Structure 1
């Protein structure tokens, strides 16, 4: 027989649930603004992020914190010159509750500035620009991915352990490339290594031949690179075609081979990269995610899909704590900072500057998979330099 106290507790719980639901319903639909690339070099990355986020929402029955989700989308074209206008469309024209984006670090910088000025929630599902969780950090800005520094630093440690002393780096000349190289140098030089040349070309230029000729002439022990999307495909194929793969090992941040292996084919075989996700984690959490993603989209997920999914998780954690109130930034931030996020990549927390503190894996290309060989850096935190939060 239920006691009077039990009945009262049940009634109180029911009243609280009803009140929370009514509160969420009164706020109307939750407007999520996607600012992601739908065209150009990074289009496939934007699609994977979109898919991952929508998968999380679907798992919640199409609602977050009791609010039905409405999506508004802007193609950012990976063009920093259009970024301010694009993000302001979402904030001022569409009155979104939260912005999710983007891939390109230069675009993300403009988004972070607008979010900081307007107080709009911003969750970054890829772009690793250091400033976003450094000098531009804010209570309403979160990242579900990485900083450009993290996988670079981990690969620097790997290169040191392999006994390399002289390395050349090559990347696009923009924030992501510069910061990935800095991370690599920090890890590599700490172990006594020397970066003898830093090569770069403008984004999204993919005319690599002159730089590959220079690499051949320098004869380094190895090459470290940061490219992604279509640029990564062409670089890996050109590197192999130039005959360099046979004599000079190529290492990279994991974006070199994530979401690109189908197009790279045999030219990517055995490449080593470092990243916070891989294709064979074999945890129950990851297996469940991969199965659900594959059933929904008829595709295998990659790191971008995971980052999109975890952007959804961060939004869910924060809004559940604030009963769906996207303007309660203090409550949202407190809840997310206190959480251990149960990601397919493995559990992670957010640093004080709202960047993931996470394991960075060493992966090897085997067939069409980035097979995890071990952990390159355990629970690696970005320094968050300049963050005053």
Structure 2
């Protein structure tokens, strides 16, 4: 009888243990799906660095739990997006996905996250649909929608008195949607877009399009390029002599992370974005110092967005005291957080997109220096979002 009682007690203890999540103290698995090769490689590295810096500042843990990283190079290739996301979701069984830069790849990630109900934090890609028709409780963005920086630049250019503009970008989601945001604001401000120019991603043969700009003679040009493509475009624009008669403006990605490579060609360019290197607030000053000491490099907007992705995840995990089974608590807290960001404090909309101050910046030396606020607390319209 005593033996039976002991066995019964042991069985009961096992049942109690089984009722408690077995992995409650296990590391939280974070899947980083970012570009580590190609045009956007430097951007992916900066995002990862920013994310890990915040975790490091918390002692290497979020909500008391260690963080374990899994990495996949997304190759900036949309056709591989679903398979690459599923390597992290199904093979590595990550708790949260973080990615990516390319909007086409991010759309595939968002679909995979929705289907598997995996937490997804988007630290760059601005595809409007992610916080529009594809919005979901488990998807939050730490960056922007493509519409936001385009719209802000349209406001700026209209305020500066330009009436006729041309646009130029790659023919993919980020470029097309950014241009739409620009056109909406620019034409609302009394301007007119006379022609939109595009070329396939990641093509950088700009000469024929620059010749067309020269022939059309608009008041100004709005450009959306990033990474290596932005470097070549800005240099080619100056080499063609267009900067002498037709001012060039851009979404801030034109000059973010690219100024050293662009050299003198970029100096004086005005762009709009939700971050400026010289933003003189304590949070930004401390962040830039910490980033420089840790990585021996200057922080940029991509590093900020990675840093804030970790902050948003931490808010959700802290609310649930690290218990990943409390998904409703986590996702609700991720939307209620006010992020104390190097870009300035911001909130998250119901659709999961940041509500952002958009800054006017001027390229000076290796910095995009703050000049003014183009639009205060700009919220993406989240067209098509139903939750």
Q: Same-fold call, TM > 0.5?
A: yes
Deviations 1:101-160 (A, max 9, x none): 000000000000000110000000000000000000000000000001101101101111
| In structure 2, distance between residues paired with 1:94 and 1:369 | 39
Of 121-130 and 62-71, more deviation after overlay is shown by 62-71
> Residue in 2 aligned with 1:379?
377
Instruction: State the secondary structure of the residue aligned to 1:26.
Output: coil
Using the TM superposition, give the Cα deviation of residue 279 of structure 1 relative to its aligned residue in structure 2, in angstroms. 1.1
The count of residues paired between Structure 1 and Structure 2 equals 368
> Residue in 2 aligned with 1:77?
75
> Residue in 2 aligned with 1:239?
237
| In structure 1, distance between residues paired with 2:122 and 2:262 | 27
What CA RMSD, in Å, does the superposition of the two structures yield over aligned residues? Answer: 1.1
Q: 1:157 aligns with which of 140, 155, 158?
A: 155
> Residue in 2 aligned with 1:89?
87
* Deviant stretches of 4+, over 6 Å: 22-25
Using the TM superposition, give the Cα deviation of residue 223 of structure 1 relative to its aligned residue in structure 2, in angstroms. 0.2
| In structure 2, distance between residues paired with 1:35 and 1:348 | 25
TM-score when normalising by structure 1: 0.93
Does the CA contact (< 8 Å) of 1:143 and 1:311 recur in 2?
yes
1:274 maps to 2:272: yes
Instruction: State the secondary structure of the residue aligned to 1:90.
Output: helix
Q: Which consecutive unaligned segments of at least 5 residues does structure 1 have? A: 1-21
TM-score when normalising by structure 2: 0.94
Does the CA contact (< 8 Å) of 1:139 and 1:329 recur in 2?
no
Q: Which aligned pairs between 1:130-279 and structure 2 lie closer than 5 A? A: 130-279=128-277
Using the TM superposition, give the Cα deviation of residue 282 of structure 1 relative to its aligned residue in structure 2, in angstroms. 1.2
Q: 1:308 aligns with which of 287, 295, 306?
A: 306
| In structure 2, distance between residues paired with 1:138 and 1:216 | 45
| In structure 2, distance between residues paired with 1:24 and 1:138 | 28
| In structure 1, distance between residues paired with 2:370 and 2:22 | 42
Does the CA contact (< 8 Å) of 1:103 and 1:127 recur in 2?
yes
Using the TM superposition, give the Cα deviation of residue 327 of structure 1 relative to its aligned residue in structure 2, in angstroms. 4.0
| In structure 2, distance between residues paired with 1:250 and 1:169 | 10
Using the TM superposition, give the Cα deviation of residue 334 of structure 1 relative to its aligned residue in structure 2, in angstroms. 1.6
Deviations 1:2-41 (A, max 9, x none): xxxxxxxxxxxxxxxxxxxx98973411110000000000
Does the CA contact (< 8 Å) of 2:35 and 2:100 recur in 1?
yes
Instruction: State the secondary structure of the residue aligned to 2:277.
Output: coil
| In structure 2, distance between residues paired with 1:367 and 1:108 | 32
| In structure 1, distance between residues paired with 2:252 and 2:64 | 37
Instruction: State the secondary structure of the residue aligned to 1:278.
Output: coil
| In structure 2, distance between residues paired with 1:328 and 1:173 | 41
